[in-house]
Amino acid sequence: MGALNLQVTIDQDSGFCFGVVYAIDMAEEILAEDGYLYCLGDIVHNDEEVERLKAKGLRIISHEDLQTLHNEKVLIRAHGEAPETYRTALENDITLIDASCPVVLKLQNRIKTSHDANEKIVIFGKHGHAEVVGLEGQTNGEALVFQDIAELDNAELPEKFTLYSQTTKSTAKFYQIKEELINRGYDIKANDTICRQVSNRDKDLHKFAVNFDKILFVSGKKSSNGKVLFEVCKKFNPNTYFISSTEELDMSIFSPGDKIGIAGATSTPMWLMQEFKNELEKH
């Protein structure tokens, strides 16, 4: 124990969701057998975990790279992919290792069914996010995507449409948006398609956050879920700090005897949170 005598506790409900665990397990199994594996985009929105797997032979490629790849294995990460990716793989004799999250696949199917029924689709999600790109693909790119309701103020929305959500968005915000759109006079069929493993963390995280002097929220900067859960922590414990790597640690924010809680996103590996704990306890 260091001079600061910090009492550090990791939130045991934080860390990888089952979709990410499934994708990483699948990748590690193939890496152990073949020594390398291509992955379409970062396997998870956490740079430290991506680097760990790259050291084992994971090769991150873009959709442009996929066009020129032939006769290889390519992992589809938990975020899922648009139909175009599967067509390219078929044309290029690529074996797809499909680790798409079942929750995302179910959402893709629901959106495709709605689109095939000629429903107008509106998606609450982050522009350019891998999952959202896959969802848009189910509508041939015709869906309207927004990440903040202010974007819809000047948008030409149909009077009647079907509302979906990216699986890692805030449940509370989704229902606020639904109510606001109804109040604006739109005829909406709203589908709560938020992953319950994510939304339950959204609901339960505050119970953890209030017990500590300070919270370190460990997440990759690209993680949508990380941003949502960080805001939950910050709301209930203003002394919450967003951090991605131990190099970013500023020990001057801590006081002797502080009780420190460490929490993370669904894309944050438990080993990384443990690394933070070990580092804090040295001081």
**What distance in Å separates the CA atoms of residue 177 and residue 233, rounded to the nearest whole number?**
22
Q: In what order do the strands lie in the sheet with 240-243?
A: 7-10, 259-264, 214-218, 240-243
Closest of 281, 262, 258 to residue 270, by C-alpha? 262
**What distance in Å separates the CA atoms of residue 257 and residue 82, rounded to the nearest whole number?**
50
**What distance in Å separates the CA atoms of residue 164 and residue 179, rounded to the nearest whole number?**
14
DSSP H or E run through 187: strand 187-190
Is residue 64 within 8 A of residue 88, CB to CB? The reply is no
Q: Which residue has the tokens 């290889």?
A: 72
The partner residues of 75 in beta bridges, in order of sequence, read: 39, 97
**What distance in Å separates the CA atoms of residue 87 and residue 38, rounded to the nearest whole number?**
17
State the number of CA atoms in the 13 A half-sphere of 47 facing the CB. 8
Q: Which residue has the tokens 């006769």?
A: 71
**Residues designated as active site:** 131
The partner residues of 242 in beta bridges, in order of sequence, read: 217
The partner residues of 262 in beta bridges, in order of sequence, read: 10, 216
